[in-house]
Amino acid sequence: MLSTLNAAALIGIDAIKVAVETNVTGGIPSFTVVGLPDNAIRESRERILTAIRNSGFDIPPKKITVNLAPADIKKEGTAFDLPIAIGLLGSLNLMSHRFEDTLILGELALDGSVRRVNGALPVAIMAGKEKIKRLIVPQPNAAEAAVAVSASNSDIKVYGVESLNGTVALINGKSEQAPVTVNIAKLFDREPEYPVDFADIKGQGAAKKALEIAAAGGHNVIMIGPPGSGKTMLAKGLPGILPPLSFEESLETTKIYSVANLLELQRPLMVTRPFRSPHHTTSNIALIGGGSNAKPGEVSLAHNGILFLDELPEFTRNALEVLRQPLEDREVTVSRISITTRYPAGFMLIAAMNPSPAGALKDRDGNLTATPPQIQRYLSKISGPLLDRIDIHIDVPKVENTELFSESAAENSQTIRKRVIAARKIQLERFSHSANIYTNAQMNAKMIKLFCRLDAESSQKLMDAMNRLNLSARAHDRILKVSRTIADLDQSEKIEMKHLIQGIQYRNLDRDFWSF
């Protein structure tokens, strides 16, 4: 007998509907799954049959064939365990066939309990578009799926199940279980907690101001300074001055974490901007994403947040070069023989490095800690094209003892965040007619020409700086974008000379910065 129900497969951070067709006939006993299943699905045979028997059902020896359609798309993971088991029970007339408008996900344990799966959020979003009326997922995924239902205001009922028996009772109408709902407003109601407040950082007023500009315009930053100068602490304090996530940003970020199976059980929606800090030994694939089973990399996990690369020259040259495409396109394209997957990668890059391979550029006596050729080799690990894509270069010098022991109160993150939000509001109004453009850092050449106009004197100043520093065309555009952000923080409609000069000063690595 044939039964058909709905499941889902993940492609990137999106889901597609998959029909699970289960047919049971007489003949030599077998259990075959077709439709491009991966090893995890092929191995599900023993899990499913054992779980069914341990749940109290008697499976006669039959020829069992399961087809996952469409058959030309590869299916991965263990989320097909539960729908295959339910389809098998339906084909054997061991339960009701009330599968209409129902989508089922779940991994089965040998005792019949249902385990958590990844990707419940994108599946729920897809279910709304496919007019599914009932979504059955593992209990730990229920709140996550309910977020998507609340967001779309659809009439899907989400049920979280803990066992195969519980799923059968729900489908047969013998369970009084209520659908799961989530109050999204309540999730955003709590003030986020950040590990570092700018008020806790001693000194470094210039670096703090540069990071405020970066936060206001979504600019990439590289910090150069000796060990112990506070580069890492400054980077960790940056999330506290960024604007809060909008609901659309939160949903897109949560989809990535859902697919990567990194969503916390007690947090069905990402309400704070992600901060990712991979070690410099991280591989290219872990950084950019992909692999045999394509998964989001660090650049995608930092989407709508911050990717912090400490000790930047210690990363391999190849790892740094793969950053160039996502920095420019704000997405990652992972191509395989059978499929091409795109992951969003709209992050702020915050990089930190020492001025010398020995740490500080000079010792206490004023002598270089390494030879000039050693320092040049160290710096040359960072290519010019990558530096061109980093808008702000800032010097983070050693903090003076007088600043360390000072009792004067520094400006806190909340105060700075108010100015950043005000500047972002100006940009949202400026780009209100442009799709997917929200900050100055995202401006294209046409927008730069329209919104970053300079008077004759300022244009001459910029031309002189380009000739003197030998700047590229890309660096020219970066200076204009940063200058536009500085003007926005000043609530100025035009880019004035003082804004431009400050923007030029943030190109340290484009000039003869290192005096040996």
Three-state secondary structure call for residue 129: helix
**Strand (E) positions, 411-473?**
none
Distances (CA, A) of 215 to 145, 345, 377, 391, 486: 31, 17, 31, 12, 11
3-class SS shares of the chain: helix, strand, coil, % to 5: 40, 20, 40
Mean of all residue pLDDT scores within the chain: 89
**pLDDT for res 513:** 46
Q: Examine the pLDDT at 454 and tell me if it is beyond 70.
A: yes
Among 65-79, 187-201, 297-311, the range scoring the smallest mean pLDDT is 187-201
Q: Is 303's pLDDT higher than 90?
A: yes
Per-residue pLDDT at 192 exceeds 90: no
Percent of the chain with pLDDT over 70: 97
- Nearest Cα neighbor of 87 from 31, 141, 24 is 24
Cα separation, 508 vs 516, in Å, equals: 15
Element (H, E) at 295: strand 295-296
Q: In CATH, what is the architecture of 2-182?
A: 2-Layer Sandwich (3.30)
What pLDDT score does 407 carry?
74
Give residue 515's pLDDT: 46
Lowest mean pLDDT among 26-40, 264-278, 501-515: 501-515
pLDDT band at 294 (very low <50, low <70, confident <90, very high): confident
pLDDT, residue 293, reads: 67
Rounded-to-integer distance, Cα 516 and Cα 514, Å: 6
In this prediction, residues 439-455 reach a mean pLDDT of 92
**pLDDT value at residue 516:** 43
pLDDT for the residue numbered 511: 52
Angstrom distance (rounded) from CA 64 to CA 175? 28
DSSP element (H, E) containing 47: helix 44-54
Q: Which of 17-26, 41-50, 398-407 has the lowest mean pLDDT?
A: 398-407
For the residues 297-304, what does the mean pLDDT come to? 94
Neighbouring CB atoms inside 10 A of 377's CB total 13
Distance CA 326, CA 307 (A): 12
Q: What is the pLDDT of residues 402-433, one digit of tens each?
A: 777 777 778 899 999 999 999 999 999 999 88
Give the pLDDT of residue 404: 73
Average pLDDT for residues 466-482, to the nearest whole number? 89
pLDDT of residue 491: 94
* pLDDT at res. 337: 64
Give the model confidence (pLDDT) of 369-406 as tens digits. Answer: 888 888 888 888 888 888 888 999 999 988 877 777 77
C-beta of residue 331 within 8 angstroms of C-beta of residue 303: no
Find how far residue 257's CA is from the centre of its chain.
7
Q: How big is the CA angle at 263 (ends 260 and 267), to the nearest 5 degrees?
A: 165
What pLDDT sits at residue 183? 85
Determine the number of helices (DSSP H) and then strands (DSSP E) in the chain. Answer: 22, 18
pTM of the full structure: 0.89
Taking the domains of the chain in order of start, what are their residue ranges?
2-182
Q: Nearest to residue 419, comparing CAs of 193, 217, 235?
A: 217
pLDDT higher at 339 or 303? 303
Q: Which two tokens stand for residue 137?
A: 């997922």
Average pLDDT of the segment spanning 281-293: 82
Amino acid identity of residue 440, one-letter, is N
pLDDT at 498: 94
What's the pLDDT tens digit per position in 310-351?
A: 999 999 888 898 898 899 889 988 776 667 788 999 999 999
What lies within 8 Å, CB to CB, of 328 at 6+ separation is: 389
pLDDT more than 90, % of the chain: 56
Q: What letter represents residue 84's amino acid? A: I
Model confidence at 26: pLDDT above 50: yes
